[in-house]
Structure 1
Amino acid sequence: MLTHPGARAHVRGPGVVVGVGARRGVPADEVLGLVRAALAEAGGPEVLALATVDTKGREPGIVAAAGALGVPLETYAAERLAAVPVPHPSGRAREAVGTPSVAEAAALVRGGELLVPKRTSTGPGGGPGRATCAVARPG
């Protein structure tokens, strides 16, 4: 796991981890909009961290979203995420990054309960988006 320096977490009670997956070049506002909508769906919990696969750990849109939320960005190897059981595996994710799940697995990598299953952002003009996220309360 890698945690980006300079990020701060606001931990005041039970919090959540938001797993994020994205295609290359996804804008921060698309990631942030999706994350904020998923957090609202989960009841507005405190965010402990954003988490993703290590190959996306330098993706500018994801890094900027973590910074805007003021939380660390944790990254995990695809092999570690592939070992996490998830309800919605994806062949597309497996082909792209070597794990059948990025968002749900990254949210659940610490164990716990999935509060919001994988959601996909809406792209420009209402088309398919380039980001996914899921929200879990760590165990």
Structure 2
Amino acid sequence: MIVVGVGARAGVSTDALAAAVMAALDEAGVEGLDGTVLATLDRRAAEPGVQEFARERRWRLAGFTGAELAGQPVPGAPSAVAAAAVGTPSVAEAAALLAAGAGAELVLPKRVHGGVTVAIARG
């Protein structure tokens, strides 16, 4: 299973998400996206742009609370900006790893494309 974790500001557009996610998938060389999960902060999962992006690609959408994400160990450097804004120092990496389940590994650590942070995990 491939999980794409994303972090973004409120109101992120479907086009901005698509550009960032496709750039990250291309960089990671990931193919065969059937059964892919889009994982993020619960507040972002409730937003129209995020929901539309997941629906267009027929990906399952998983949202996690800030507390759940904060409890997930990640290899990347913590973000003080994210911690102050949403209560967790990692959104994209933590969401990808949580949704991918026990034993998950990052295929692509967090990358920022056009203000959207993307990380990819394999479960």
Tell me the TM-score normalised to structure 2 length.
0.88
Q: Deviations over 1:13-67 (max 9, x none)?
A: xx31000111011111110111111111221233420001112111222111111
Helix, strand or coil at the partner of 1:39? helix
Tell me the TM-score normalised to structure 1 length.
0.78
Who is 1:106 aligned against?
95
Say whether residues 1:42 and 2:28 are aligned partners. Answer: yes
Separation in structure 2 between the aligned mates of residue 75 and residue 58 of structure 1, nearest angstrom:
8
Q: Which amino acid aligns with 1:51?
A: A
Who is 1:75 aligned against?
63
How far the C-alpha of 1:120 sits from its partner, in A, is: 1.3
Runs of 4+ in 1 over 4 A off after TM superposition: none
State the identity as a percent: 48
Number of residues of Structure 1 aligned to a counterpart in Structure 2: 117
Q: Point out where structure 1 has 5 or more consecutive residues left out of the alignment.
A: 1-14, 123-128
Larger radius of gyration: 1
Separation in structure 2 between the aligned mates of residue 94 and residue 46 of structure 1, nearest angstrom:
33
Separation in structure 1 between the aligned mates of residue 108 and residue 38 of structure 2, nearest angstrom:
14
Q: Which has the larger displacement, 38-47 or 28-37? A: 38-47
Say whether residues 1:116 and 2:108 are aligned partners. Answer: yes
Whether the 8 Å CA contact 1:51–1:106 is kept in 2: the answer is yes
What CA RMSD, in Å, does the superposition of the two structures yield over aligned residues? 1.3
Who is 1:125 aligned against?
none
Who is 1:6 aligned against?
none
Q: Point out where structure 2 has 5 or more consecutive residues left out of the alignment.
A: none
